[in-house]
Every structure is written in structure tokens, then in C-alpha cells.
Amino acid sequence: MTGFGTSVCHGCPGDGSLPPCPCRAPVKNRQMKERYAKGVFWAAISAVVSQGAIYLTGVIVARILGREVYGQLAAVQNVVVACAAVSTAGMGLTATRYVAEYRRVDPEKAGRILGLCFAVTAAVGCVLTAVLFGAAGFIAEQMFRAPDLAPAFRAASFYVLFFAMNAYQAGALTGLEAFRGMALTALLQSALSPAVAFALTGRFGLVGGAGALSVTAAFSWAVWQLLMVRKCREFSIVRQMSGVREEAGVLSGFALPAVMAGVLVNGVLWASSVILSRQPGGFGEMAVYNAANMLRNFLLFVPVIGSRVATPILCNIGGEGDAQAFRRVWRGNIIVCAVPALALAALLGVASPLFLSTFGKGFSEGVTASRILLVSGVLEVLSVGFYQVIPSSGKMWWQFWAAPAFGAAGLAASSLGAWGIALLIYIAMARRLLAAREMEAEPEQCPVSVS
């Protein structure tokens, strides 16, 4: 028996043979909102704690090393992070995309995808780590004209392997929507990171600061591994290497374009760091830029929260073929990310002189760079929101249809221009993909009676 005004659906089998029934839309909307809200809550805790630890670690290291040496560490870090981003081989996003879609309907396929991601990240991570370790002298002397940086590059090179493995595990956990567990692990990592940086930098200087990157990444890998094994067990997913060839199409259709995009973006980051560092006083400017960029990173934790929660939900909905629910979640996520980002950018812009002064003498010069980076960050927030339609629709190749005089401020301005262009491109792509999705999935009407 139903209450007054309750819609009852008759003749809808509920076995997937028909498109999503509009009669169940109110219930599904409520479930989606609950999933999103719960995910945002835990993802926000994780992001705030992580960003706080990064800031605290940066201040500790900068005050120990001073501006010039901290700039050298920033140059090393930028190169290592660029290599690490490439070493993920797109497997983090790949794991999120396919684990979210198949975790319930086909756990075996999800297990094969995880096996593929593990094999690729382990192989690529080991190779790039070995290359960076072996080429440390060449990079330091020939690129940065600073031979003394070679030991620091070697100490930080192991960060590449562990970062790659962490990215694949974090991607899988995101696909499983394990946001609570990820928040708790973030608390552990955030407690360790500043302590390790303080101990190693205080004892070994620049090389110690670089080595701290590797140590904390290794700890994170161990914690993520334990969490992933437990969460996979809940979904009856077993990572398996047998049969991974069946999923080889994932590499060419999804992972490869993600890798190529990463190579382009991080190649530019590497080149920009080299150019700036080789200018007179360049390492000092790198230090200022690195400190100013932390303000932008504070701003970007907003879309990180939104995309981390919305991406698995969108992939899950996309697999069900519900175009209307897909659009609602996607549009809502953009609003949830954009509005706080605008307010936070204004607040951080006003507070930037005070923020930069905490790093020590000479860092207050980065106020202009920080404010340019904040504007860039707002554009990036919007770009990330529109970009989500691309991986959620499995159309990663679409993104390739897109096409030192001012020190730290000049490097910040280049970021602003790049994200402005990216935003326009992603808006056009998102509109086209959403229109195509709605044309493919027009729901059939089911018989409805109102009692």
C-alpha cells in the first residue's frame, strides 16, 4: 500500500533491460546527494590535513635552508615531481575510471584492471627512477649549471617509483569510494611528513630535504597498500596478473592519451624550472615561486575534493547510461567547487603577504606571483570541472584536439595563460560530449499510476 501522491512504477523490470526509469528519479537523486555529501566530507578532511602538512613542511625546510638553498631544493623537487607524474602512466585515473564502473557488475574485470595498473606503474616507475638516479650528474651540471645538486637528485629519485605506485593505489581507492579510509591515512602521513623533513634537513641539509621526499613517499605507499587490500576484499576484488592482456585496449584508448597529456604538461614545468633557475639569482626566484605556489595549492584543494568524489560517481552513472543523472552530478560539482574557490582566492590574495612572510626573509617579494597564481588557480578549478566529462565518457583522445625576465611572476603568468586557454577548450569539449551522451540515452517512459 502506498501513501497519497506516491508514484508507483508498473511493468519496469529493473534488470537493466530498459533505460533508467524516471519513476525512480527522486530516490536516486537522494542517494546520489548522500554519496556525494559523504564523499566530500571525508575528502575535505583528507585535503585540508594534507595541505596543512605540505605548508608546515615547506616552512620548516625553508627556514632551515634559507632562500637560496630552498630554491635549489624547489628546482630538484620540480624535476622529480615532473618525472613522477609521467611515471604514473595514467594508471591512477585509469584505475578510478574502470574500478568505479566494474567494482560491482564485474569484480573479475576490475581485478584485471588493477593487475594491469600495477604492472605498468611498477615497470615505468622503476625505469624512470633508474634513469633519474643515473642521470643526476648530467641534469645538475648541464641543465641547471649546479653540479652540487647531483646528490640531491639521487636522494630524491626514489620518490618517482613510490609516487607512481601511490597514484595507482589512490586511483583504485577513489574508484572504490573509500574516502573515509583515505582521510585517516592522510592523518598518519601528515603527522610523519614534517617530522621527517625536520630531522633529515636539519642533519643533512639540501640532500636531507631531497631524501625526505623519498622517505615519506615510501611510507605513504605502505599505508595505501594496506588500505587497498582491505577495501578490495570488501568488493570481492582480487588483483590478478593472469588475463591482463584482455584489458590491453585500456592502455591505447584511455591510459596512453593521459600519459601524453602528462608528458606535455610536466615537460613544460621542467623546462620552465630550468630556464628560471639558470638566470642570475634564479634559485632565489625558484624559492619565491615555490612558496607562492603553495597558496595556489591551498586553493586547488577545492576541486581536488570535488573531482575525487565526483569522478567515480560519474563513471558509475556513465556505465548505467543515465544521462540526466550524469549531467546533474557534473553540474552540481562545478557549482560546489567554483563558488568556494572564488571566495577562497579573494581571501588568500589579501593574506598573501602574511603567508609568504612565514617562510623567512626575502619571500615577501612573491606577493605579485602569488596573486597571479591564485587567478590561475580559479581558472584551473573551472577547467577541472569541465574536464571531468572527458575521462568519465572514455574520450581521453579528445583533449589532443586542443591545441625569464620577470622571475617568479613571469612563471606564474605563464600558468595563468595556459589555464585560461584550457578552460575554453574544456568547455567546448564538455558541451559536445554531454549532448552526445543525452542523444544516446533518451529514457523510455514506463507506465505510471498515481494513487
> Predicted confidence band at 272 (pLDDT cuts at 50, 70, 90)?
confident
Task: Annotate 85-109 with b (16+ C-beta within 10 A) or e (fewer).
Answer: bbbbbbbbbbbbbbbbbbbeeebeb
What is the percent of the chain with per-residue pLDDT over 70, rounded to a whole number? 74
> Predicted confidence band at 361 (pLDDT cuts at 50, 70, 90)?
confident
| pLDDT at residue 397, as a whole number | 45
Length of the chain as a residue count: 451
The lowest-confidence range among 48-57, 222-231, 432-441 is: 432-441
- CB-based contacts of 280, cutoff 8 Å, min separation 6: none
CA distance 201 to 205: 5
* pLDDT averaged over every residue in the chain: 79
> Predicted confidence band at 242 (pLDDT cuts at 50, 70, 90)?
confident
CA distance 160 to 214: 8
Q: Reduced to 3 states, what is the DSSP secondary structure of residue 448?
A: strand
pTM of the shown model: 0.71
Helices 67-87, 256-277: inter-axial angle, 10-degree rounding? 160
Quick one: cell of 216?
Answer: 615519506
274, pLDDT greater than 60: yes
Quick one: cell of 430?
Answer: 564538455
| pLDDT at residue 217, as a whole number | 94
- Which range has highest mean pLDDT (248-252, 269-273, 354-358)? 354-358
> Predicted confidence band at 268 (pLDDT cuts at 50, 70, 90)?
low
CB neighbours of residue 11 within 10 Å: 9
| pLDDT at residue 257, as a whole number | 60
pLDDT (tens digit per residue) in 102-135? 888 899 999 998 988 898 889 989 999 999 999 9
| pLDDT at residue 413, as a whole number | 59
167, pLDDT greater than 50: yes
| pLDDT at residue 294, as a whole number | 87
- CB-based contacts of 264, cutoff 8 Å, min separation 6: none
Mean pLDDT of 266-277: 71
Distances (CA, A) of 235 to 24, 105, 372: 25, 10, 45
259, pLDDT greater than 80: no
155, pLDDT greater than 90: yes
369, pLDDT greater than 50: yes
Mean pLDDT of 330-346: 84
CA distance 188 to 347: 29
